[in-house]
Structure 1
Amino acid sequence: MAIRLGLGLPQLRQYDLAKDVTDVARTAEQIGYDSLWVYERLLVPESPAQGLYGIPGLPWPDWYRGMAHSLVTLTLAAAVTERVRLGTGIVVAPLHGPAQLAKALATLDAASGGRVIAGLGPGWSTDEFAAAGVRPFEERGETLDEVIDVCRAVWGPDPVSYDGRITKIDAAVVGPKPVRPIPILVAAAGKKAMTRVVDHGDGWIPVAMGAQAYADGWQRLQDIAAERGRSQPIERVPRVNALYSAKAHDGADRQPYQGNAEQIVEDLAALAEVGMDEVLLDLQTTPRDAQEFKDVAAEVYEKALAAGL
């Protein structure tokens, strides 16, 4: 049941970006975490056009306010670590120019010695798409497909050529190249998005799923892979958004990954029983500062090891 454990980096406004990102990154590597991760939120509208994840009436969490840029944060961590993999979990790919995003990821991979994992998703916020000035929100799935294709072209041998709906590259040299092919993990829940994982991705990065929902999703993904004749393995790296508390959370209203370290590890063990390659554990929302964040990360890691994870 042994799995790799990854940790989300501090990007929220209670942290001091000038020192906390590098401090947490160094400490996480020393503790034993296998990877470090970031995610993306461009803005928080005062009057959202839609609820969280597009669900009507669901409020956006306050911790989204003032979130640091994902790739800048990951670059800070890359500069002070040597072993841990460096993942985006998740970057909203259609908010970026395809060639620019591909080049940024390749540069980070080259600079870090081949440690980057590209976790990409289509996004859900119409407000973010409007602010970014990119392709229409309704085309985000097709745009994500093209971003993935452009990344693979740009990371491949020169001269690079690509002729897509958005991107036109006419026999050009594009460098630097990544040290090795960067794994692309795709966020997906519905059938159409899971088909994208099978057809275009190296792996699946489901978000905020309990063990049963994850098991159901993994079965659907396997079925689609069988239907489409995919034989290559699909890497599984679920993202877990934990709500840590020093005391156990009692009551029937407890959500998955909510409570003290023992409860979070119990939920991770249930997830691991389904099968995964790695888990992205984000603990940053509840600690008050970087020291508390490091203490919580160490406690959860130690208890996960003791539980055989």
Structure 2
Amino acid sequence: MRISTTIFLTDETITPVRLARELQQRGFAGLYLPEHTHIPVERTTPYPNGGDLPREYTRTLDPFVALAQAAAVTDRLTLGTGVTLPMEHDPIALAKQIATLDHLSGGRFTLGVGFGWNREEAADHGVTDWRARRDLVLERMGVMRALWADGPTAYEGESGPGVRASHAFPKPVRGGAPRTLVGGAAGPKLFTHICAYADGWMPIGGAGLSRTLPELKERWQEAGRDPDALTIVPYAVLPTPGKLAHYAEQDIEEVVLQLPPGDTATVLKTLDDYAQYV
């Protein structure tokens, strides 16, 4: 089982370059980074985990810039977002960013896709109908996948702009799209997205998989997807030996462990503590 990591990298934490080098040297498989462009001060949306919003949310580095630095100083470490919020991006520009990072890293990029929780942040990006954000993500994924196709391919969205058949390079290394995982809580809407365009699911914390996985597998097969191709990557996990043994029993091939948003000494100590799982 591959052991990857995630962290809120900020202007106050360990740097992407130092972290990437340490992860590769210590045998960790990958680094995933979250995304928040900004946090409006006048915010009524509650923090999903309860209580005050942690400081690191307001200082998060851009994941693509940070991952590009990580890619430049490693050659085996996989790189990913956990998660990108496509509804907050121009999909044509985002497709170019993703394909470029995947190309320059030799195909090491995983696109983690999410739908967000902060309504005020999304509203500043023009997402005025919160309930329609999943449909917006579905269409923006359609635009990006059209640009990543082998030949010029048009995509016409129902509620937003599409893209005309175009020349767009570079392409993702594996062809078609980089490995794509959808994050979020189990449910019919989430499973629709996974089956429509993704390679699998990034369940936050990984709890309850024994209950939810059978439904996803059924939906996956109904969509005509290869039963053996479904990928499950528990995300932001606080590890214990028993928890990782449980994942191994379910044939989970990768787990993403949560690192603290701390300085170099704090993060390296946590990596030392996690060494038993690598």
Q: TM-score, normalised by structure 1?
A: 0.81
Provide the residue aligned with 1:14 in structure 2: 12
Aligned to 2:195: 198
Equivalents in 1 of 2:140, 2:268: separation in Å? 35
1:40-89 superposed Cα distances (whole Å, 9 cap, x missing partner): 12233334222123x8x654233312111111111111111101111111
Q: Which has the higher strand share?
A: 1
| Map 1:14-53 → 2, pairs under 5 A | 14-15=12-13, 20-53=15-48
- Does 2:241 correspond to 1:269? no
Residue 209 of structure 2 is aligned to residue 214 of structure 1:
yes
Structure 2 gap segments, 5+ residues each: none
Q: Name the residue aligned to 1:171.
A: 165
Residue 253 of structure 1 corresponds to none
CA contact (8 A) 2:6 2:236 kept: no
Give the aligned CA root-mean-square deviation in angstroms: 2.1
Question: Residues 95 and 147 of structure 2 are in contact (CA less than 8 Å); yes or no, is this contact kept in structure 1?
Answer: yes
- Say whether the 8 Å CA contact 1:25–1:77 is kept in structure 2: yes
Kindly state the Cα deviation for residue 208 of structure 1 after the two structures are TM-superposed.
2.5
Quote how far apart the aligned CAs of 1:90 are.
Answer: 0.9
Asked if 1:187 is matched to 2:160, the reply is: no
Q: What is the aligned counterpart of 1:299 among 269, 273, 276? A: 273
Distance 1:176 1:24, change over 3 A: same
Provide the C-alpha distance between the structure 2 equivalents of 1:270 and 1:87, rounded to a whole number of angstroms.
Answer: 24
Task: Choose the corresponding residue for 1:100, options 80, 83, 93.
Answer: 93
State the percentage of identical aligned residues. Answer: 31
Q: What's the offset of the Cα at 1:241?
A: 4.5
Q: Which amino acid is 1:282 matched to?
A: Q
For this pair of structures, how many residues does the alignment match? 273
Could you tell me how far apart the structure 2 residues matched to 1:41 and 1:183 are?
A: 21
Instruction: Give 1:209 shift.
Output: 3.3
8 Å CA contact 2:147, 2:166 repeated in 1: no
1:43-192 counterparts in 2 under 5 A?
43-53=38-48, 58-134=51-127, 136-165=129-158, 166-181=160-175, 182-188=178-184, 189-192=186-189
Q: TM-score, normalised by structure 2?
A: 0.89
Give ranges in structure 1 of 5+ residues lacking alignment: 243-256, 258-263
Contact persistence 2:182–2:194 (CA under 8 A): yes
The separation in 2 between residues aligned to 1:268 and 1:47, in whole angstroms, is: 40
Q: State how far apart, in whole Å, the 2-side matches of 1:172 and 1:225 are.
A: 31
Offset from partner CA, 1:155-191 (integer Å, 9 cap, x none):
1123232222323322221112122231111123212
Shift in Å, 1:153? 1.3
